[in-house]
Amino acid sequence: MSSTAPIGAFDSGMGGMTVVKELMQQLPNEQIIYYGDTARVPYGDKSKETILTYARQIMNFLISRGVKAIIVACNTVSAVALEDLKNEFDIPVIGVVKPGARAAAEATRNNRIGVIATRATINSGIYKEFLCRTNPDIEVFQQACPLFVPLVEEGWIDDEITDMIIHRYLDGLLKNGIDSLVLGCTHYPLLRDRIQKAAGNEITLVNPAFESSREFKYLLEENGLLNENAAPGAIAHKFFVSDGAARFAEFAARILQNYTVTPDSVTVHSFD
């Protein structure tokens, strides 16, 4: 596989664009092929079998587009399906959970860490497992926040209703004396300022997207796949969704400040 081949990234929908933003910053020479399963989002309340079926379809699709490595830019898929995908596919692949857990373990000073994520990610217990494996003294307190995803997709970021819901989810969690909080879902970094306001400035918010992109770079290096040569012009990244190209382009524009995703640059591809 050539180092000039594109990298693949996928998510259950649009939230993985928070990971794409980091990839664009940390891997500026790489062309990205992104798949967002916008027709079937959310994955966060689905069974492992369903999530694995969808993830396999997307992996095969990205591989058919010639990608050299894949980042699973979705906490839910990373939490419940990554090990199966790694065993089944002969391509370098990483998820966002392990790097996120590592960043949280480094950030905490009192070994009390909060994790917020979808129900599937929380129920998998994977953040807890990685954190406690990194340091057995760490105590983990978790809270599923399913309403955050639709709020973000509606663009209700600076909104008093969103603040109320954040408090409803976080107030109990914060009573545990945590000093770090993992934003364990791709959408949550978009609520970062509001969550920080509710949690208070003494709590460190950990965004797995940053750490995962860094780790993805190491993975490419290790496999001799890092593209060292800058492309002569601007890189044309490719975006695929299973539905709603225009809505995706609008959402992407809110996230990416230095790159324009027009509705024309988004292709609809569904598996049904």
Residues catalogued as catalytic:
74, 185
Binding residue for ligand DGL, selected from 41, 69, 82, 166, defined by CB under 6 A = 41
What is d(CA 244, CA 190) in angstroms, rounded to the nearest whole number?
20
Of 238, 194, 183, nearest in space to 35 by CA: 238
- With beta carbons less than 8 A apart as the criterion, state whether 126 and 238 touch: no
Contact map string, positions 109 to 138, toward ligand DGL, x by CB under 6 A? ---------x--x-----------------
100 binds ligand DGL (CB under 6 A): no
What is d(CA 192, CA 185) in angstroms, rounded to the nearest whole number?
12
Contact map string, positions 42 to 61, toward ligand DGL, x by CB under 6 A? xxx-----------------
| Interacting positions 162-201 with ligand DGL (CB under 6 A) | 185-187
- Closer to ligand DGL by CB, 61 or 235: give it: 61
- Closer to ligand DGL by CB, 180 or 186: give it: 186
Question: Minimum distance between the CB of residue 263 and ligand DGL, rounded to whole angstroms?
Answer: 22
The residues binding ligand DGL (CB under 6 A) are 11-13, 15, 41-44, 74-76, 118, 121, 149, 185-187
